[in-house]
Amino acid sequence: EELTMAEKDALVKETVEAFRDHVNPGFLEYRKSVSTDYTSVEWKDGGATFTDVYGKEFIDCLGGYGIYNVGHRHPKVLAAVINQLKRQALHSQELLDPLRALLAKLVAAITPGDLQYVFFVNSGTESVEAAIKFARMYTGRRSFISTTRAFHGKSLGSLSATAKAVFRKPFLPLIPGFHHVPYGNAEAVAMMLESCAFVGEDVAAVIVEPIQGEGGVIVPPDDYLPKLRKLCDQYGALLILDEVQTGMGRTGKMFACEHCGVVPDILCLAKAFGGGVMPIGATVARKPIWEKLIENPFLHTTTFGGNPVCCAAAIANINVLLEENLPQRAAESGAYMLRRLRELAAKYPAVVLEVRGKGLMIGIEFVSNELGYEVAKGLFARGVLVAGTLINAKSIRIEPPLTISRDQQDRVIERLAATLEEVNRLA
Ligand code: PMP
């Protein structure tokens, strides 16, 4: 039965209270009234806005941490899911599922180069777990090189690749053999590969995000991935690209690695892969890796991975991304937003340190964490939802649906201008 507004209100407040001692007060304030039980269920404004339980309308620049690339509840994705629910939602993996096969074909077709075999999972961290296991299995090697500020998930394997001390410390020791080098610096990777080889510790894979998301939207130099590709080939290591956040059109190409023409050995997908409606991820690999894996296909399995409902959502999602030309729209909207944001930031040097990004994956770094919270709070009050990064607001992320209109972008800029004017007085 439908809950009453008062019941919903009480549940949101109770949840916030339960976290009171554990969450930064800035975020608590910022989240006090937001509820995910949006009242608007109909498709409107290209899915880039939503109305919360109090009837307040927001332009969504958080995008569910980058999951709503096609917008909130795109009607075609919803219809695909509802349709499939009426047939078969879940079934035994003993049965071959046509939707899973179709989705695998689509993924092979839209991913670059010879990436053509797909293992379906339920989340980003699982896609990275699979990549780590595939790399060890294929190479017979044990070690990995990851980067500082990296975020690859929080289950034990992916957490070993993640770099934030607060997330790792309580769970040490993690998987042995993970080395972290400064992000964006190919020379650092070269040195680590050389050091590992020198002590007889061969590296199975280098794992990086093409643009770091949780780390604060860090865009590496253009030649970073091409250099990593060369180094991996030179040392016989695999290149794993974690496109959980950058994939599905976010950065202005379907996959961020396409900006520089680099094809990884393994590509990790999740987040927006299920169209913002269902949770599904994928670990996409080159054929030789897959051939090694299927020598014993039961070594890595998951009951729910690639279930029919999630596959239906992912298929519809890919269709919408292509039909509506959303990667290209993200490139154009992103270039416009970046220019407007930089013009605005230049007026407030005491508040904003830097604006950076690619496509509709944009980060604004502030002079301090506190000023970042004030801006997030001010935007929230004006009906713009944004995301902090990791556990602070020193940088905030702007990752709206790729469908966001020019008019909505202008309204975001206007509201940010008013917020910065206000926050500038505190700086
Ligand atoms: N990799 C990257 C690059 C991510 O941004 C995230 C989530 N923020 C993950 C992995 C983990 O995904 P999930 O939360 O679905 O486990």
Q: Mark which of 286, 306, 323 sits at the end of a domain.
A: 323
Dihedral of the CA atoms 362, 368, 372, 374 (nearest 10)? Answer: -160
pLDDT of residue 50: 85
Q: Tell me: do 135 and 43 sit in the same domain.
A: no
What count of other Cβ atoms lies within 10 Å of the Cβ of residue 259?
18
CA dihedral 113, 252, 67, 48 (to 10 degrees): -150
Residues 121-155 have pLDDT tens digits of 999 999 999 999 999 999 999 999 999 999 999 99
Nearest CA to ligand 1 atom 5: 245
Looking at ligand 1, which atom is closest to the CA of residue 214? 5
Task: Based on the fold, state whether residues 186 and 109 are members of the same structural domain.
Answer: yes
Number of alpha carbons in the 13 Å side-chain half-sphere of residue 352: 21
Closest ligand 1 atom number to CA of residue 246:
3
Burial of 169 (0-12, 13-18, 19+ CB in 10 A): exposed
The predicted structure's pLDDT at residue 1:
72
Please confirm whether the linkage preceding 400 is cis (ω < 30° from 0): no
Whether residues 17 and 66 share a domain: the answer is yes
What separation in angstroms does the CA of 97 have from each of 91, 102, 115, 271?
Answer: 9, 9, 21, 22
Domain of residue 79, CATH code: 3.40.640.10
Same domain, yes or no, for 241 and 331?
Answer: no
> To test ligand 1's pocket by mutation, which of 245, 257, 280 has the most ligand atoms within 8 angstroms of CB?
245
380 and 234 fall within a common domain:
no
For the stretch 376-419, pLDDT in tens is 889 988 999 887 765 567 899 999 999 999 999 999 999 999 99
Verify that 39 and 158 share a domain, yes or no: no
Query: What is the CA(245)–ligand 1 centre distance, in A?
Result: 7
| Ligand 1 atom index nearest CA of 65 | 8
Centre of ligand 1 from the C-alpha of residue 238, in Å: 20
Q: What pLDDT is recorded for position 287?
A: 94
Task: State whether 141 and 188 are in the same domain.
Answer: yes
In sequence order, the 6+-apart residues with CB closer than 8 A to the CB of 361 are: 66, 211, 213, 217, 245, 246, 250, 251, 334, 397, 398, 399
* 167 and 21, same domain (yes or no): no
Dihedral angle of Cα 158, 163, 166, 171, to the nearest 10 degrees: 40
Is residue 251 located within the same domain as residue 351? no
Task: Return the minimum-mean-pLDDT range out of 52-66, 243-257, 312-326, 364-378.
Answer: 52-66
CB-based pocket (< 6 A), ligand 1:
65, 123-125, 128, 151-153, 209, 213-214, 242, 244-245, 270
Q: Which of these three, 271, 293, 323, is where a domain ends?
A: 323
The confidence score (pLDDT) of residue 31 equals 54
Span from the CA of 410 to the centroid of ligand 1 (angstroms): 29
Q: What is the pLDDT of residues 223-250, one digit of tens each?
A: 999 999 999 999 999 999 999 999 999 9
Atom of ligand 1 nearest to the CA of 150: 3
Higher pLDDT, 187 or 37: 187
Residues 297 and 215 in one domain: yes
Q: Is 170 exposed, middle or buried (0-12, 13-18, 19+ CB in 10 A)?
A: exposed
pLDDT of residue 33: 52
Tell me the pLDDT band of 330, cut-offs 50, 70 and 90.
very high
Q: Is the pLDDT of residue 264 over 90?
A: yes
202 burial level (CB within 10 Å; 0-12, 13-18, 19+): middle
Q: Using one digit for the tens of pLDDT, what is the confidence trace for 5-47?
A: 778 777 777 777 776 666 555 555 555 555 555 555 668 888 9
Q: Is the pLDDT of residue 93 over 90?
A: no
Count of domains observed in the chain: 2
Structural domain harbouring 379:
5-70+325-424
What pLDDT, on the 0 to 100 scale, is given for residue 35?
55
**One-letter amino acid of 278:** M
116 closest CA partner among 134, 103, 128, 97: 103
Residue 340 has pLDDT above 90, yes or no: yes
pLDDT more than 90, % of the chain: 77
CATH of the domain at 57: 3.90.1150.10
pTM: predicted TM-score of the whole model, two decimal places: 0.95
Pairwise pLDDT comparison (101 vs 92), residue with the higher score:
101
Q: What is the mean pLDDT of the chain?
A: 92
Same domain, 93 and 182: yes
Residues 118 and 193 in one domain: yes
Q: Which of 323, 341, 374 is the last residue of a domain?
A: 323
pLDDT of residue 104: 96
CA of 153 to the centre of ligand 1 (A): 5
Which residue out of 62, 121, 152, 280 has the highest number of ligand 1 atoms within 8 Å of its CB and is therefore the one to mutate? 152
Counting ligand 1 atoms within 8 A of each CB, the residue from 244, 257, 273, 280 with the most, and so the one to mutate, is: 244
Q: Which of 53-57, 113-117, 239-243, 296-300 has the lowest mean pLDDT?
A: 53-57
